[in-house]
């Protein structure tokens, strides 16, 4: 017997790891409510889009995707828009895409069971749009984790930083942290299920504040790292303003904490950092870099850069390039500035031509590629522990990742293949700007 098409769903996710993990929790909730996940829009009775509003024209991309699928409304399918674009656009989505039946911001996911009941009852406009003042976190025991070895735990939701270019404080609500007890209980449960790597998530993960006042972020990090069965703990994304030296002390003290920190700087110019409302200076940021570089373990450092922010002069841009040279990042995710709805930077004159933004972006990427090429060459001959993530049959290589979050693809004897999810020793034999190549140490 085929399943009830009205109780089948297809979910597509856009955006960051927070969205990916939110989708895991949404899927788990839907399954618990009697729905069955399918792999195509054609097979689904309910089509959901978990959206991200960070990138340029994000909302337009969502509407374009919805427009592509409006032909299915005659088949009785129902559509839902979730996440940041849902919160940002609100009920305007119903006006632009009348065939959408549900709009739900991420702060309202806890209400999904009741919203599904309304959908099933034939309600054509079901909304869940909490304001910034919500105190709730989306915690559920029904998370449908997609990787059997590595799992996410959200420890803090929302953002109170209000950087002038960023829409997240308006779409995700205020900062609200889970208790350390609930985080550790989830970590222990994951270890019992066989997970060996945990990644702690938050818009600003190191802004975590235990509601019960029992542990700082660094103390929670260490405690998760000491859960029996857990071999690696990662965390992302950190904000420089709340990045304390105690985080580095924890990484040095607890071997399971990965030696990798993603610390977005956005610009190397104090003038632009001030216009961005980042509320730290280049010197203060470099102090945090110095803490990492003086650690007992070699910590891999990665970052985010925005080029072409309103008012960014050639001198400001040169400051960013010199920062790349000074820090020597292992990876940088660079973007050109684009105005986002409801953000303070909308009031600034975005006078830099798009072609100049594109040029600056290319310059950053070229400079960073040279830095990474030199960085990765240093690892040739070194032996690293790798978590095996899969196999590339076309290249006859295994795919893995080091504690420093570096991709290390490797060969292994045909009669002694590693198992996915295992940890093996690999010697690097060649390097590329974004990865290493090696061979299994037998």
Residue 414 belongs to some domain of the structure: yes
Residue 172 belongs to some domain of the structure: no
Q: What are 394's two structure tokens?
A: 């076309």
- Kind plus residue range of the DSSP H or E element containing 84: helix 84-89
pLDDT, tens only, 371-429: 999 999 999 999 999 999 999 999 999 999 999 999 999 999 999 999 999 999 999 99
| Of the residues 102, 128, 154, the one at which a domain ends | 128
Residue 306 belongs to some domain of the structure: no
Q: What is the distance in angstroms between the CA of the first residue and the CA of the last residue of the chain?
A: 50
Q: Are 165 and 275 in contact (CB under 8 A)?
A: no
Q: Any idea what the CATH number is for the domain that residue 69 is in?
A: 3.40.50.12160
| Of the residues 128, 153, 182, the one at which a domain ends | 128
Q: What are 274's two structure tokens?
A: 């001030």
Structurally, the chain folds into a number of domains equal to: 2
Strand ranges for 289-432 from DSSP E? 300-307, 331-336, 383-392, 397-402, 407-411, 423-431
Residue 167 belongs to some domain of the structure: no
Residue 68 belongs to some domain of the structure: yes
Percentages of the chain per state (helix, strand, coil), in multiples of 5: 35, 25, 40
User: What is the CB-side half-sphere exposure of residue 183 using CA atoms within 13 A?
Assistant: 34
φ, ψ of residue 182 in degrees (nearest 5): -70, -35
| Of the residues 85, 106, 128, the one at which a domain ends | 128
Residue 310 belongs to some domain of the structure: no
Residue 54 belongs to some domain of the structure: yes
> Which stretches of the chain score pLDDT less than 50?
1-3
Structural domain including 63 reads: 5-128
Residue 273 belongs to some domain of the structure: no
User: Of how many residues is the chain composed?
Assistant: 442
Residue 18: the pLDDT is: 80
Q: Any idea what the CATH number is for the domain that residue 426 is in?
A: 2.40.50.140
Residue 56: the pLDDT is: 65
């Amino acid at each position: 017997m085929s399943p009830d098409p009205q109780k089948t769903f297809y979910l597509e996710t856009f955006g960051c790891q927070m969205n990916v993990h939110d989708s895991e929790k949404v899927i788990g909730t839907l399954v618990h409510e009697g729905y069955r996940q399918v792999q195509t829009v054609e097979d689904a009775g309910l089509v959901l889009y978990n959206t991200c509003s960070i990138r340029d024209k994000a909302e337009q991309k969502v509407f374009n995707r919805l427009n592509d699928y409006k032909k299915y409304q005659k088949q009785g399918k129902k559509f839902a828009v979730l996440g940041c674009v849902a919160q940002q656009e609100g009920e305007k989505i119903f006006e632009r895409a009348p065939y959408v039946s549900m709009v739900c911001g991420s702060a309202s996911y806890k209400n999904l069971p009741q919203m599904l009941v309304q959908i099933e009852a034939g309600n054509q406009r079901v909304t869940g749009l909490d304001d910034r003042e919500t105190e709730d976190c989306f915690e559920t025991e029904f998370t449908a984790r997609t990787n059997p070895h590595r799992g996410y735990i959200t420890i803090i939701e929302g953002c109170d930083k209000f950087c002038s270019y960023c829409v997240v404080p308006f779409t995700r609500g205020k900062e609200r942290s889970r208790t350390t007890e609930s985080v550790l209980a989830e970590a222990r449960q994951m270890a019992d299920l066989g997970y060996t790597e945990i990644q702690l998530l938050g818009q600003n993960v190191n802004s975590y504040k235990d509601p019960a006042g029992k542990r700082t972020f660094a103390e929670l990090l260490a405690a998760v790292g000491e859960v029996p069965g857990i071999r690696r703990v990662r965390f992302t994304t950190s904000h420089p303003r709340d990045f304390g030296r105690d985080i580095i002390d924890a990484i040095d003290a607890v071997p399971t904490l990965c030696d990798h920190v993603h610390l977005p700087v956005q610009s190397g110019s104090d003038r632009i950092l001030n216009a961005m409302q980042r509320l730290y200076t280049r010197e203060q940021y470099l102090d945090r870099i110095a803490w990492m570089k003086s650690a007992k373990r070699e910590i891999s450092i990665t970052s985010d850069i925005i080029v072409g922010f309103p008012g960014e002069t050639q001198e400001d841009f040169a400051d960013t390039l010199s920062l790349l040279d000074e820090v020597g990042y292992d990876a940088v995710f660079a973007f050109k500035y684009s105005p986002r709805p409801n953000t303070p930077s909308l009031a600034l004159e975005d006078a830099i031509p798009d072609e100049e933004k594109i040029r600056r972006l290319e310059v950053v990427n070229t400079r960073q590629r040279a830095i990474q090429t030199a960085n990765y060459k240093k690892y040739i001959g070194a032996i690293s522990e790798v978590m095996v993530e899969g196999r590339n049959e076309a290249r006859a290589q295994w795919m893995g990742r080091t504690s420093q979050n570096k991709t290390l693809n490797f060969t292994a004897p045909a009669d002694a293949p590693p198992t996915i999810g295992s940890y093996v020793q690999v010697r690097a034999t060649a390097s590329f700007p974004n990865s290493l190549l090696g061979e299994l140490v037998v």
